[in-house]
Structure 1
Amino acid sequence: MAEKLDETQRKPVIPAYVKALSGSLGGIVEASCLQPIDVIKTRLQLDRTASYKGILHCGTTTVKNEGVRALWKGLTPFATHLTLKYALRMGSNAVFQSALKDANTGKISDGGRFVSGFGAGVIEALVIVTPFEVVKIRLQQQKGLSHELLKYKGPIHCAGLIIREEGLLGLWAGAAPTVMRNGTNQAVMFTAKNTFDGLLWRKHEGDGKVLQPWQSMISGFLAGTAGPVCTGPFDVVKTRLMAQSRSGKYYKGMFHAISTIYAEEGVLALWKGLLPRLMRIPPGQAIMWGVADQLIGFYEKKYIHNIPFQA
């Protein structure tokens, strides 16, 4: 009898597939809005000769030399990457949280939420992020718009050429810093998003309260600010490792890249592209959560709180 009572007192569970779908829809909207900032970030991180004097100079130079369409280079792999990444991130995080919840109350500790986020970040880094970002970065670093002169003609051609020239593992160049970056990012992001929802709006998962899009966007924006600062060096190293081909390798691995960049360019070079990351990631999280929370909230209201439930 006691076991049945515990079951009725558990917090409601939102299925992982609902969270995965909400994340994928948010990713589509985010990619469409923020691709130019990602192109600029990549160009700045690959700039070893200080050709660009900042974000605006990089953007205007790219448009002047290559046309405005160049700011959307790599959009197809970027949009596909974000859609799949958010689906996997949100879904796997939900699975991890479900496994780490208290068996009686259905609640999860802050430590459990942090570990769930890190686990989701590691999975998305290995399964989705690394190969898609390798293709995206190879496309973004190409100068010019003349299709005939470009080495990589598109995302599929790029992936195939990398496999032929560098082997299948070429698509996982920079996997180690990507795992560290994404794991840390998601651990911080999921923990912070839940904290800000509770502090600012008194919203807790499963309570049936649907945040207004602007409320979700504020929480998502704030949650998305800490990760880029903490993981800047991993992101720079990831980009450098992904950009180099096997025939032109300069960095031997994550630690060699960090020490080499520090020795040759100074410590601040490890945070190159931080400002465009802060211009992209927090707004991106705001857009994604603004979309995702609406779908999750709809599910909560329709399929959880329309049936008898003892909170």
Structure 2
Amino acid sequence: MSNTLKDLTAGTAGGIAQVLVGQPFDICKVRMQTAPAGTYSGLAQCAGDILKNEGPLAFYKGTLSPLVGIGACVSIQFGVLEWTKRFFGQRNLASGSGGRGGALTPSQLLIAGAAAGIANSVVSGPVEHIRIRLQTQSDKNRIYAGPGDAVKKIVGAHGLAGLYKGQVATLWREGTGYAVYFLTYEKLIEREMRVNNIKREEVSSVKAVLFGATAGYALWAIIYPIDVIKSRIQTDGFAGPERKYGSTLDCLRKVWRAEGANGFLRGLGPTLIRSPFANGATFLGFELASRALYGR
């Protein structure tokens, strides 16, 4: 296998782990972000209502789409990240710049992370749009029978552009968020290797989970308000009187006027609870799969 194919495969393992661990928290986050203000007093009420009204399997509503899609997304993230890291590392070695052994500078890691996020957004935009549509529909008012049906109906009625609804917000979220996300994780890994004089594959699984959890919190600290805007747009109507927001900026203005700063923090509770588990699982899955594939 080529290095790129190994990175893509390891990324897929990380993505699947992320979805399986994080999906129940994610559906609560989306419901709290998009429901009318005052619908839920907090995570406990939201989760309780879902369990009472829709049953335990509702926490995995819309999972097929992210299981396939997020697996592909995380695969792309790590594939682009590792390729860009190798590119900068080889250039640093050739020019004698960067850190010891051609190690990447913080700015290079930010660029690599941003590139990973932007490349990922091509897939993550429509995948998350479909997931959010499925997560927010009730059993009594089902519009879409599943991911395939949702894609068919949205594309049939609104074209490919309908599938990419909210893509501007998605690009902002992915580009800025993953720049910080991967910078945080890589710097923690570098520090662990330097302090203990070990190789990357010798970093313990527990540390990989902890560093992934920390990177996840750094990610959400940067992108959460953007994520709220994205969710609002992706659950908005497509046209006519059902459409509330004319653009990303229009959505931002209307949320601010109606709810103030608190409007950009709705659903933060389940996100903060979910983040360490989902992101820790993502990096652990990637690191373990990489070690197996590279024979480290």
Q: Same fold (TM over 0.5)?
A: yes
Using the size of structure 1 for normalisation, the TM-score is: 0.86
Cα shift readout 1:243-296 (whole Å, capped 9, x = no counterpart)? 123132101111111110000111121121122222223321100111211222
CA distance in 2, matches of 1:200, 1:225: 19
1:70 to 58, 77, 98: 58
CA distance in 2, matches of 1:283, 1:203: 26
| Aligned partners of 1:25 and 1:291 also within 8 Å | yes
Equivalent residue number for residue 309 of structure 1: none
1:103: how far off? 4.4
Aligned residue type for 1:43: R
CA distance in 2, matches of 1:221, 1:98: 24
1:194-273 aligned within 5 A: 194-202=186-194, 207=199, 209-247=201-239, 248-273=242-267
CA distance in 2, matches of 1:299, 1:293: 10
CA distance in 2, matches of 1:292, 1:109: 22
Equivalent residue number for residue 45 of structure 1: 33
CA distance in 1, matches of 2:259, 2:208: 39
Quick check: 1:111 aligned with 2:100?
Answer: no
1:300: how far off? 4.9
| Aligned partners of 2:192 and 2:203 also within 8 Å | no
Quick check: 1:18 aligned with 2:18?
Answer: no
Shift of the 250–202 alpha-carbon distance from structure 1 to 2, 3 Å rule, reads same
For the aligned residue pairs, the C-alpha RMSD in angstroms reads: 2.1
Equivalent residue number for residue 284 of structure 1: 278
Quick check: 1:136 aligned with 2:124?
Answer: no
1:32: how far off? 1.5
Equivalent residue number for residue 185 of structure 1: 177
Three-state SS of the structure 2 residue aligned to 1:266 is helix
- Deviating 4+ runs (over 4 angstroms): 299-302
Three-state SS of the structure 2 residue aligned to 1:157 is helix
CA distance in 2, matches of 1:249, 1:167: 17
1:110: how far off? 1.2
| Aligned partners of 2:14 and 2:283 also within 8 Å | yes
Aligned residue type for 1:138: R
CA distance in 2, matches of 1:264, 1:200: 46
Cα shift readout 1:25-84 (whole Å, capped 9, x = no counterpart)? 121122112211010000000012311111010000111111111111110011112200
Three-state SS of the structure 2 residue aligned to 1:108 is coil
More helix, by proportion? 2
Shift of the 209–115 alpha-carbon distance from structure 1 to 2, 3 Å rule, reads same
CA distance in 2, matches of 1:292, 1:211: 13
Point out where structure 2 has 5 or more consecutive residues left out of the alignment: 95-100
CA distance in 2, matches of 1:120, 1:36: 26
Shift of the 140–208 alpha-carbon distance from structure 1 to 2, 3 Å rule, reads closer
| Aligned partners of 2:155 and 2:163 also within 8 Å | yes
CA distance in 2, matches of 1:84, 1:59: 28
Aligned residue type for 1:273: G
Three-state SS of the structure 1 residue aligned to 2:201 is coil
| Aligned partners of 1:233 and 1:258 also within 8 Å | no
1:106: how far off? 3.8
Aligned residue type for 2:112: S
Equivalent pairs, count: 285
Aligned residue type for 2:127: F
1:294 to 288, 292, 296: 288
Equivalent residue number for residue 97 of structure 2: none
